[in-house]
Chains A and B, each alone.
Chain A
Amino acid sequence: DVKVTQSSRYLVKRTGEKVFLECVQDMDHENMFWYRQDPGLGLRLIYFSYDVKMKEKGDIPEGYSVSREKKERFSLILESASTNQTSMYLCASSPTWWDSGRAGGGYTFGSGTRLTVV
């Protein structure tokens, strides 16, 4: 069964801490994404990556950075956590568009990390 695995289900961090959220996929997908989910705001794209060592900003990149040193791993970094970064973080991966056959976009999501910053 193919999977996107997020390292933690729940995290509590203090304001100002540097926080690492890890995501690993076993499907050999080229694309990986980080979203956050907030009530009334839906899923908002933070960063994405089309290839190893490549990254592009999404809609809300401020306060975040990412790292993709290996194809299967995509890390989200909160440089200095703040209370407004308390949220559900979702990682996803997908094959290239033509490989997916556009069937559902080929997205597979992880189960999410509920981060609370106090």
Chain B
Amino acid sequence: DQQVKQNSPSLSVQEGRISILNCDYTNSMFDYFLWYKKYPAEGPTFLISISSIKDKNEDGRFTVFLNKSAKHLSLHIVPSQPGDSAVYFCAASSGGGNKLTFGTGTQLKVEL
């Protein structure tokens, strides 16, 4: 039972354009959401997070939007750069616990 889903396994965008990565969840107890970025042969690294009391969080080129009623979050990267090419995982937690539930990942390719 996949509680966190990323329905697009891959995404290709041109350099300078906006990348939008989507994530859906089913567990209404999730109250904190995160995005991680992973390069090949490296561990995931934290990118940005959002609490369920907010609907938007911004950090430089990265913005995460949360729609609780739809149980949907998205990551916007603008402008996209070739170095953004990686696998992106969304993750969720509930009740202040440290256990994260990860999505299936989206491979982003930013082309010149």
Contacts and interface: CB of A to CB of B under 8 A. Distances in A.
Nearest to B105: A42
A112 B49 contact: no
Contacts of B43: 4, 90, 92, 108-112
Contacts of A35: 102
Interface of A: 4, 9, 31, 33, 35, 40-45, 48, 50, 58, 90, 92, 94, 96-98, 100, 102-112
Interface string B38-67: 000111111001010000000000000000
Interface in B1-16: 4, 6, 9
Contact of A111 (B36, B42, B89, B91): B42
Given A42-B105, A48-B99, A97-B97, A112 B32 contact: no
Contacts of A31: 98
Interface of B: 4, 6, 9, 32, 34, 36, 41-46, 49, 51, 89, 91, 93, 96-105
A29 to B, nearest CB: 10
Contact of B41 (A4, A98, A107, A111): A111
A105 B98 CA distance: 7
Given A92-B43, A105-B32, A112-B42, A41 B99 contact: no
B89 A112 contact: no
Contacts of A45: 99-102
B4 to A, nearest CB: 8
B99 to A, nearest CB: 6
B103 A42 contact: yes
